[in-house]
């Protein structure tokens, strides 16, 4: 059987699904910066506003970017999208703005699973495709466990009996992908690598709001009176994108999951960090920790609050050995992630810009917040 030699330095043709999304945009940017030819999928070329930011992510390499239409649930759109590609990075996944329930939740799971299989079916037929990199998530590793002592690894899988529909969608799509790869014909060698990011934060490249920006938006615009006692396992979106690009060609990545994770912060620490850095620029960030009892009362009538109640005070810890050793990525400082994201949200119009906002403070600002006690 012929084996494809994976050479990281060679120019490749790469399909990025969900190219206009939060993670997908950063993946496109890094691929273009490395000189690769990129074909990105969007749901509709008519909706220019949803993808126009891709024109500026790497202007000097814009001629290497092509956009095509493809829908997760439309199998017929994936074969032409995949034709001629060397690698496929599948970041596209439906993610509603609010937790789905009932039939809507079941439809979410179905779309995610069938979408992943539609992409993989096309990749099997297009023999030039060597490897698929699939975006999963860390909740496919830990959901349903509230232990604060366990160190989660790639060997762990979520308890689907306790998972919400968003978690089920990611988990079952990943499981379906692994099962698919195990059962492809012997005469077709197609490799799979999976990226499992923790809570992905960091600067956004697009100009439309989404679930990834919601936490900091609410803090910066003071839309919440207090902060829950919640701990966030955080990874920088730029590290997530780099992990996808590295997993595309790394000899050690095929056949493995990769938890990508930078570090943990309590929500109160995030609020205190933002308050310290941005208060001089006119932002009054709420820093009072909301009592659990109050949150439980609010959760009785508010589903968005109710969903976090089991995780108040819970810390999820992850190993990132494969991220460091197999992909060669040194995790960013999570404080950089938070501050860079805050400035991006302000500059891109996601949150209000105060009259005294002066922008990032450079190395002096960074030295200050890296050394402050939160």
| Active site positions, annotated | 170
Handedness of CA 85, 90, 94, 96 (dihedral sign): negative
Handedness of CA 84, 88, 91, 92 (dihedral sign): positive
Beta strand spans in 226-339 (E): 231-236, 257-260, 263-266, 317-318
Give the 3-state secondary structure of 121-149.
Answer: HHHHHCCCCCEEEEECCCHHHHCCCCCCC
Phi, psi at 26, each rounded to 5°: -70, -35
The side-by-side arrangement of strands in the sheet containing 257-260 is 65-69, 37-42, 13-17, 87-90, 131-135, 191-197, 257-260
Strand partners, 38: 14, 65
Phi, psi at 181, each rounded to 5°: -65, -35
Query: What element of type H or E holds 179?
Result: helix 165-182
CB 176 within 8 A of CB 116: yes
């Amino acid at each position: 059987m012929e084996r494809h030699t994976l050479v990281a330095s060679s120019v490749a043709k790469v399909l990025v699904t969900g190219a206009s999304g939060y993670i997908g945009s950063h993946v496109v940017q890094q691929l273009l910066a490395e000189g690769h030819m990129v074909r990105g999928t969007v749901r509709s070329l008519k909706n220019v506003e949803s993808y126009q930011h891709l024109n500026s992510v790497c202007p000097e390499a814009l001629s290497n970017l092509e956009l095509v239409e493809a829908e997760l649930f439309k199998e017929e759109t994936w074969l032409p999208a995949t034709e001629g590609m060397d690698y496929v990075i599948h970041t596209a996944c439906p993610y509603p703005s609010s937790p789905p329930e009932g039939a809507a939740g079941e439809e979410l799971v179905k779309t995610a699973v069938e979408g992943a299989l539609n992409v993989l079916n096309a990749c099997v037929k297009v023999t030039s495709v060597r490897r698929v990199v699939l975006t999963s998530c860390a909740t496919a590793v830990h959901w349903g466990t509230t232990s604060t002592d366990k160190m989660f690894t790639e060997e762990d899988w979520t308890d689907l009996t306790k998972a919400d529909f968003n978690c089920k969608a990611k988990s079952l799509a990943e499981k379906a992908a692994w099962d698919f790869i195990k059962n492809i014909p012997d005469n077709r060698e197609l490799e799979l690598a999976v990226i499992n990011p923790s809570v992905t934060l960091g600067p956004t490249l697009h100009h439309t709001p989404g679930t990834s920006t919601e936490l900091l938006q609410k803090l910066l615009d003071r839309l919440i009176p207090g902060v829950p006692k919640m701990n966030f396992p955080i990874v920088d979106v730029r590290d997530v994108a780099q992990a996808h690009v590295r997993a595309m060609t790394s000899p050690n990545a095929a056949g493995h999951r990769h938890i990508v994770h930078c570090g943990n912060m309590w929500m109160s620490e995030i609020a205190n960090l933002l308050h310290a850095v941005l208060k001089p620029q006119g932002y009054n960030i709420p820093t009072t920790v909301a009592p659990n009892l109050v949150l439980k009362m609010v959760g009785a009538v508010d589903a968005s609050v109710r969903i976090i109640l089991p995780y108040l005070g819970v810390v999820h810890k992850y190993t990132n050995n494969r991220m460091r050793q197999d992909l060669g990525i040194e995790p960013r400082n999570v404080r950089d992630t938070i501050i860079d994201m805050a400035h991006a949200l302000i500059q891109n119009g996601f949150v209000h810009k105060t009259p005294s906002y002066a922008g990032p403070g450079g190395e002096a600002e960074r030295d200050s917040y890296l050394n402050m006690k939160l």
